[in-house]
Amino acid sequence: MRGTAVAALALGLAVAVVLAGAVACAPTTTTTTPPTTTTTPTVPLSGVFGIISDWSESTHAVPVTFAAEEATCAGCHDGRGFALGVSDPKSFVASEPFGPYVVATDCRACHTGRGADLLESGTVTTPTEPTPIKAGAGAVCIGCHRERSKPTSSAGPVPGAPHPSIQAAVYLAYGGIRQPGVTYGSTVKHTQVTDMCVGCHMSDNSKGVPTHTFLPPKNPKAICGECHEGITTYDLAVAADYDGNGKVQGIQDEVTGLLSKLSTATAKAMGANTLTQAKGNIVFKSGTTTITAPVPDKVYQAAYNWALITNDKSLGVHNPQYTVSLLQESYIVLTGAPIPNSKPFPGSKLSTGTAGGTTRTPSATGTTGTP
């Protein structure tokens, strides 16, 4: 599928080049347009093919068919849907000359229609954070990589999970179920990167154009070296033992430990041995049996926040302070006490907990607390 996509794009580009050459060579008899001093930035042909090659290897090049065909999901899971600002695929497939089909997140998604508008304005809002976010070129990324709805405090027997692509909710420290009166804190220096997401995930490739794999460079020095002198890994050393395992490790190792301890404690609270996600829901299992009993609020907030940080996939790199604090506070609310032998992130002020953790309940909006 990727090879076909690259071939099609390459063929289209070749046709465009030939047509441009034909127009340039066509004879003209008069000149009526005055010369202009405006210049349009150009990308070398090698750079264009580099972009296509990068994109073809990215997850954006792979259509997520089942999601793109859902009534409320095409706005992010179909390139046309995003460009048109349309979420229901039925509203635009009918006019297609070749019938209904799903389009990957291709060039048109980010560079025409809604994508172009976001790139130009540099400002975006999300369903759970109505205050406009000034993100520069990163606004087009946040247009999809954010929470879809606010978590509820009454989970019921089928507790909903956060969407898989919710990076902005962690990066900007507004997502998850938070507790009133708790100072979670946020690594704000990361949000001061020019163009936010784009500044790290689309650094220049070897051909002098932004990489379209949308992955950060393998050498972190290229994007982190200005602040973290001598950096050789994204798993930077931290100030204390956050997961209580007796060792001070890198941020990603500490967050991995926190996720494991919160997952184990959350599953145990439901009489389960496994906590996972499936089809947009939090799932508790005892062996192969799915537990369908109602989920108490304190268990749901722990499970939801565990899923939020899991789905962020950066293991704390996007926002170290918020990630650590959200997981630690979730454990306190669930069990009534901090993780044994763990230390809080410097600058964060978490609750001390009480027996059973029954004195605190999750926020229904997920927006309380101090980011």
Question: Looking at the predicted structure, is the pLDDT value of residue 8 above 60?
Answer: no
Cα–Cα–Cα angle for 152, 156, 158, nearest 5°?
95
| 244: Cα separation from own chain's centroid | 28
Confidence (pLDDT) at 31:
42
Mean pLDDT of 215-243: 94
Cα–Cα distance measured from residue 162 to residue 148, given in angstroms and rounded to the nearest whole number: 8
For residue 115, the one-letter residue type is G
Residue 132 above 50 pLDDT? yes
pLDDT of residue 11: 38
- In the predicted model, what is the mean pLDDT of residues 308-334? 98
Q: For 61-104, how does the pLDDT look when each residue is reduced to its tens digit (9 = 90+)? A: 998 888 888 888 889 999 988 999 988 877 765 555 555 667 89
pTM score, two decimals? 0.82
Tens of pLDDT, residues 190-203: 999 999 999 999 98
pLDDT at position 129 is 83
Q: Please report which confidence band the pLDDT of residue 22 belongs to, taking 50, 70 and 90 as the band edges.
A: very low
Sketch the domain layout of the chain as residue ranges: 45-121, 167-188+238-357
pLDDT at 95: 56
Residue 304 has pLDDT above 80, yes or no: yes
| Cα–Cα distance for residue pair 150/166, rounded to 1 Å | 12
With tokens 């009133």, the residue in question is 180
Separation CA 9–CA 293 (nearest Å): 51
3 state SS of 265: helix
Contact criterion met (CB below 8 Å) for 170 and 196: no
Strands (E) across the chain are located at 123-126, 129-134, 274-278, 281-286, 289-290
Work out whether strand 129-134 and strand 123-126 pair parallel, antiparallel, or are unpaired. Answer: antiparallel
Question: Within 13 A of 191's CA, how many CA atoms are on the CB side?
Answer: 21
